[in-house]
């Protein structure tokens, strides 16, 4: 008798192979058989008519603080993820000198828009070094597996103090010390190192994240720790328009360290064809066998707009800012007042920077959402187009749309990957062998971005629902966010449904798989606010052989573990057994 048998499902095994009808038998957290006549199970799941896949692996999340208080790591665990990787974009909470806790929180709050009060109340601390951090977060039960990387921001501040925090140049002694700490972290189980070189990433005080201007000797000096341990991914967030200028040294770094180098890869409105040049540069790297990869999102990296959250067209209007102290009902009562509406519509905003103005007045890329959440709306549905057709001002349309549904209405602003008014650029990016699926930012951007549900979107939109262009094969999309994601980070024990592999499995009602519209919830510590997007259609999610979700609800099982370092693929002997 097996512990669990998933019977008669439409199995897509994560290798890219065609779907087939098969059973999956599991014992002691490991897959022991995939095929027919596998024998009986103590528990059996009838998967006839359902899709059976490996659990999804999301390697771009920001649960660095949340992991210490939230056993369920939502939203990722709501969307079929059984492994997540955090510590991205150069921000995190280890190493951490005792007097740097508040500074690290302010850095994370500014870069990733996670409420500082929630982090202050929720993080348990109890560590200083990176290995101690792993020990602490690995000691508590979680619903899914999680791994982390050592972030440049925390590292620099720990080694260099205020000099590091203020982006002063690192000395040879500083670099040697950072090398030693990164080497120690990798040997303790860090999955890589991350840094940021984009001015979009700033602390809550407006200071660029430490490492933004790091010189070559510093970056390559740290990279040597990856080379010497033969472990880890070197991840970067780079200024989008600067990527072509950075590609030379990125390629050299990948060659010198022999480790995967992974950078953010998006289309921007300012140079909408630049991504094609970058694909050509990735072609060149691939032809030379260089492990250099672009990390692209599953959809437009979009800003959600609502009266309760960070960004919307009236956020910088003085009269709206004066409502900051009101509770939700009092604020809505004011917004419903015709006189206030008239005043706010005619009032001039006070922007602190050009980016705020771009977002608040970008009517041509601002769309009213519906419960079905169309993430590829046509330009004729923008507020600009509707205003032209109706004779109304786009401001009026925005105001009324956000007041809909008892003040819970949303606007959607696709910031990156939407310069052409569609997702064709991503259709091209995702087919390139040297790009990887990422940038969901699960756990981050609580008040503006809600992309943690991207794993579900990859199935619903790209393989089933897209109407404004070509789709992508279901087997490929499954492979994209299972074995391909896992293997990028050296996790060779998961991402494929085969004997000997870790028993992480999704059983999905593919035909009814649905992304729900985002909602604003106040479930973080200290009553912190965040955007949350749920899904329906996940009949079962299994992690390490335990059913953790059934019919889109948690079962209470907490089999998740800290992933420490590279995980070897099962040997032939183990697979045969």
Tokens of 38: 């596998």
Write the DSSP symbol of residue 326. S
Could you give the angle at the alpha carbon of 76 between the alpha carbons of 73 and 81, nearest 5°? Answer: 110
List residues bridging with 506 in a β-sheet. Answer: 53, 541
What DSSP assignment string belongs to 27-51? ETTEEEEEES----EEEEEE-TTSE
Question: Which residue in the block uniquely carries the two structure tokens 């994601």?
Answer: 485
Q: Which residues contact 527 (CB under 8 A, 6 or more apart)?
A: none
Phi, psi of 8 (to 5 degrees): 70, 25
List residues bridging with 197 in a β-sheet. Answer: 238
Q: Going from the N-terminus, what domains does the chain have, and what CATH number goes with each?
A: 2-54+501-566 (2.30.40.10), 57-300+418-488 (3.20.20.140), 303-415 (no CATH)
Return d(Cα 334, Cα 322) in angstroms, integer: 11
| C-beta contacts of 353-361 below 8 A and 24+ residues apart | 356/315, 356/316, 359/303, 359/311, 359/413, 359/415, 360/311, 360/312, 360/313, 360/314, 360/315, 360/316, 361/313
Write the DSSP symbol of residue 77. G
Return d(Cα 36, Cα 373) in angstroms, integer: 39
What DSSP assignment string belongs to 371-387? TT--SS--GGGBHHHHH
**Intra-chain end-to-end CA distance of the chain, in Å:** 15
Nearest to 501 by CA among 571, 548, 421, 411: 571
What integer pLDDT is reported at residue 371 of this predicted model? 87
What integer pLDDT is reported at residue 577 of this predicted model? 45
Could you give the angle at the alpha carbon of 436 between the alpha carbons of 156 and 222, nearest 5°? Answer: 25
What integer pLDDT is reported at residue 574 of this predicted model? 53
Q: How buried is residue 324: exposed, middle or buried, by Cβ count under 10 Å (0-12/13-18/19+)?
A: exposed
- 414 in helix, strand or coil? strand
Sheet with 411-416: list strands edge to edge: 301-305, 411-416, 367-368
What are the CA-CA distances from residue 491 to residues 272, 312, 321, 564, 568 (Å)?
34, 40, 47, 10, 7
Question: Which residue in the block uniquely carries the two structure tokens 């659990």?
Answer: 55
What integer pLDDT is reported at residue 228 of this predicted model? 98
Q: How far is CA 144 from the centre of its chain?
A: 15
What integer pLDDT is reported at residue 519 of this predicted model? 96
Question: Which residue in the block uniquely carries the two structure tokens 């620099």?
Answer: 156
Query: Is residue 354 within 8 Å of residue 387, measured between CB atoms?
Result: no
Tokens of 411: 């606007």
Write the DSSP symbol of residue 168. P
Nearest to 425 by CA among 237, 295, 239, 266: 266
Could you give the angle at the alpha carbon of 191 between the alpha carbons of 492 and 16, nearest 5°? Answer: 30
What are the CA-CA distances from residue 191 to residues 248, 260, 345, 443, 564 (Å)?
24, 11, 50, 18, 7
Query: Is residue 27 within 8 Å of residue 39, measured between CB atoms?
Result: no
The secondary structure of 138-151, three-state, reads HCCCECCEEEECEE
Tokens of 556: 């209470």
Q: Phi-psi bin for 529: left (phi > 0), alpha (psi -120 to 50), beta?
A: beta
Q: Is the pTM of this model over 0.95?
A: yes
Nearest to 235 by CA among 64, 492, 61, 452: 61
210-248 burial, b if ≥16 CB within 10 A, otherwise e? bbbebeeebbbbbbebbbebebbbbbbbbbbeebeeebe
Q: pLDDT truncated to tens, each residue of the chain (577 aa)?
A: 999 999 999 999 999 999 999 999 999 999 999 999 999 999 999 999 999 999 999 999 999 999 999 999 999 999 999 999 999 999 999 999 999 999 999 999 999 999 999 999 999 999 999 999 999 999 999 999 999 999 999 999 999 999 999 999 999 999 999 999 999 999 999 999 999 999 999 999 999 999 999 999 999 999 999 999 999 999 999 999 999 999 999 999 999 999 999 999 999 999 999 999 999 999 999 999 999 999 999 999 999 999 999 999 999 999 999 999 999 999 999 999 999 999 999 999 999 888 899 999 999 999 999 888 999 999 999 999 999 999 999 999 999 999 999 999 999 999 999 999 999 999 999 999 999 999 999 999 999 999 999 999 999 999 999 999 999 999 999 999 999 999 999 999 999 999 999 999 999 999 999 999 999 999 999 999 999 999 999 999 999 999 999 999 999 999 999 999 999 999 865 555 4
Return d(Cα 492, Cα 440) in angstroms, integer: 22
């Amino acid at each position: 008798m097996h512990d669990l048998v998933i019977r008669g499902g439409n199995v897509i095994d994560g290798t890219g192979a065609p779907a087939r009808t098969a059973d999956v038998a599991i014992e002691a957290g490991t897959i022991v058989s995939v095929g027919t006549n596998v024998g009986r199970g103590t528990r059996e799941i009838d998967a006839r008519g359902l899709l059976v896949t490996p659990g999804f692996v999301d390697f771009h999340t920001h649960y660095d603080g949340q992991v210490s208080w939230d056993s369920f790591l939502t939203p990722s665990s709501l969307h079929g993820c059984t492994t997540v990787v955090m510590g991205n974009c150069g921000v995190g909470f280890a190493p951490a000198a005792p007097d740097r806790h508040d500074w690290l929180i302010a850095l994370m709050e500014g870069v990733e828009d996670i409420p500082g009060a929630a982090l202050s109340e929720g993080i348990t601390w109890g560590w200083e070094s990176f290995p101690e951090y792993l020990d602490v977060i690995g000691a508590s039960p979680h619903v899914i597996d999680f791994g982390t990387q050592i972030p440049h921001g925390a590292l620099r501040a720990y080694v260099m103090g205020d000099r590091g925090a203020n982006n002063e140049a690192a000395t040879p002694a500083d670099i040697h010390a950072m090398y030693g700490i990164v080497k120690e972290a990798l040997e303790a189980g860090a999955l890589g190192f991350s840094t940021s070189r984009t001015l979009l990433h700033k602390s809550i005080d407006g200071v660029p994240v430490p490492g933004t201007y790091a010189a070559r000797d510093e970056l390559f000096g740290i990279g040597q720790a990856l080379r010497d341990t033969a472990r880890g991914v070197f991840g970067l967030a780079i200024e989008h328009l600067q990527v072509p200028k950075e590609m030379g040294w990125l390629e050299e770094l990948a060659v010198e360290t022999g480790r995967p180098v992974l950078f953010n890869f998006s289309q921007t409105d300012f140079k909408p064809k630049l991504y094609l040049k970058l694909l050509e540069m990735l072609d060149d790297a691939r032809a030379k066998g260089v492990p250099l990869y672009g990390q692209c999102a599953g959809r437009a990296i979009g800003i959600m707009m609502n009266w309760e959250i960070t960004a919307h067209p009236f956020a910088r209007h003085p009269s709206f800012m004066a409502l900051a102290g009101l509770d939700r009902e009092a604020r809505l009562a004011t917004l419903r007042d015709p006189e206030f509406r008239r005043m706010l519509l005619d009032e001039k905003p006070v922007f602190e920077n050009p980016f705020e103005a771009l977002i608040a007045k970008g009517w041509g890329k601002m769309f009213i959402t519906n419960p079905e959440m169309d993430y590829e709306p046509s330009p004729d549905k923008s507020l600009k187009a509707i205003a032209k057709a109706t004779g109304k001002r786009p401001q009026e349309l925005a105001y009324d749309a956000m007041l809909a549904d008892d003040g819970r209405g949303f606007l959607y602003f696709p910031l990156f990957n939407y310069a052409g008014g569609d997702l064709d650029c991503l259709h091209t990016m995702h087919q390139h062998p040297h790009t990887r699926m990422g940038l969901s930012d699960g756990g981050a951007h609580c008040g503006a971005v809600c992309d943690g549900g991207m794993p579900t979107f990859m199935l619903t939109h790209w393989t089933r629902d897209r109407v404004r262009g070509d789709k992508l094969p279901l087997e490929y999309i499954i492979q994209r966010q299972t074995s391909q994601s896992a293997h990028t980070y050296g996790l060779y024990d998961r991402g494929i449904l085969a004997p000997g592999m870790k028993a992480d499995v999704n059983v999905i009602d593919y035909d009814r798989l649905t992304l729900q519209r985002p909602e604003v919830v106040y479930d973080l510590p200290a009553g912190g606010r965040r955007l949350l997007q749920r899904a329906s259609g996940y009949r079962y999610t299994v992690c390490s052989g335990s059913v953790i979700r059934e019919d889109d609800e948690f079962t209470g099982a907490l089999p998740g573990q800290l992933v420490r370092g590279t995980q070897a693929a099962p040997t032939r002997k183990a697979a045969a057994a």
